[in-house]
Amino acid sequence: MATLLEISGLTSHYGRIQALKGIDVTVAEGELVALVGANGAGKTTLLRCISGVQSVTSGSISFAGQDITKMPPEHRVGLGISQSPEGRQVFGPMSVEDNLRLGAYRRHGPSIKADLDRMYEMFPILYKKRELPAGTLSGGQQQMLAIARALMANPRVLLLDEPSMGLAPLLVAEIFRTIVALKEAGTTIFLVEQNAYAALAIADRGYVLETGSVVLNDIGSNLLANDKVKEAYLGL
């Protein structure tokens, strides 16, 4: 399949701290790619670079064959890069429905309403609570809202940053079922997770990130079977 997202030699800094030390990652159309790694490995930083909300020191990001390294974030959303960020980041005082409509901010026309209905079908709880402030939802519901809001952009690639963080096991299972369903519907997904086992189990391919560098890169099942991965991330 055609490469959709291609990251090469990417570095990024927070002041003098180097968070990414030359990352190479590709995601092909229709793929579900997982990025796993410990706390502080640089996973969020990488996603922030892809969305354009974090400055890149060197290296490049290209999307659908176009160099987007310097493109402002709002134009990247227009191209089809959409992210459900770490910590959900819903618009707390605004209604659930407004959150979803803002997800479609770069789009116009009647297809928005159809997608809104599709989201409500996928997440019935959001329909029930559509008029409530997003901040009043539970953690799991906010996570669903963050994912649904990202989907409202009708993305060509969906970036998910730790969608299972802080959720009860039952909800984690539900979120992962949703991700699998999205993949089966053809969505390209780049999934960042600390829950390495669950992420690699559903992923086509995976990358293991350690202190700003990719240390392993293989198909999901191979990584699950890899001794180093087992030891470091799966607690086996």
Partner 1 sequence: MFAAFLQYLFSGLTSGAIYALAGLGFAIIYNSSQVINFAQGEFIMIGGMSSATLVASGVPMPLAISLAMLISMAAGIALEKFAIEPARNSDVVTIIIITIGASIFMRGAAQLIWDKEFHSLPAFSGESPIAVMGATLMPQSLWVFAVSGVVIVALWWFFNRTMFGKAMLGTSHNRLAAQLVGVGVKKVLLASFALSALLGAVGGIVVTPITFTNYEAGIMLGLKGFSAAVLGGLGNGGGAIVGGLIVGIAEALASGYLSSAYKDAIAFVIILFVLFFMPNGLFGKRGTDRV
Ligand X SMILES: Nc1ncnc2c1ncn2[C@@H]1O[C@H](COP(=O)(O)OP(=O)(O)OP(=O)(O)O)[C@@H](O)[C@H]1O
Considering only residues 128 through 157, tell me which ones interact with partner 1, judged by CB under 8 A: 133, 135-137, 139, 142, 149-150, 152-153
Please, which residue, 164 or 226, has the CB nearer to partner 1? 164
Q: How far is the CB of 166 from ligand X (least distance, A)?
A: 12
Of 142, 138, 162, residue with least CA distance to 100: 142
Q: Is residue 45 near ligand X by the rule CB under 6 A? A: yes
List the beta strands (DSSP E) in 93-187.
Answer: 157-161
State how far the Cα of 38 lies from the Cα of 199, in Å rounded to an integer: 14
Q: Is residue 50 near partner 1 by the rule CB under 8 A? A: no
Answer with the entry of partner 1, Mg ion, ligand X, none that 85 interacts with (C-beta below 5 to 8 A by kind).
Answer: partner 1
Q: How far is the CB of 102 from partner 1 (least distance, A)?
A: 5
Considering only residues 61 through 90, tell me which ones interact with Mg ion, judged by CB under 5 A: 86
Answer with the entry of Mg ion, ligand X, partner 1, none that 203 interacts with (C-beta below 5 to 8 A by kind).
Answer: none
Please, which residue, 91 or 197, has the CB nearer to partner 1? 91
4, 23, 25, 37: residue in contact with ligand X (rule CB under 6 A): 37
Applying CB under 6 A, the residues found at the interface with ligand X are: 14, 17, 19, 37, 39-45, 86, 194
Applying CB under 8 A, the residues found at the interface with partner 1 are: 51-53, 72-74, 77-78, 82-83, 85, 87, 89-94, 98, 101-103, 105-106, 133, 135-137, 139, 142, 149-150, 152-153
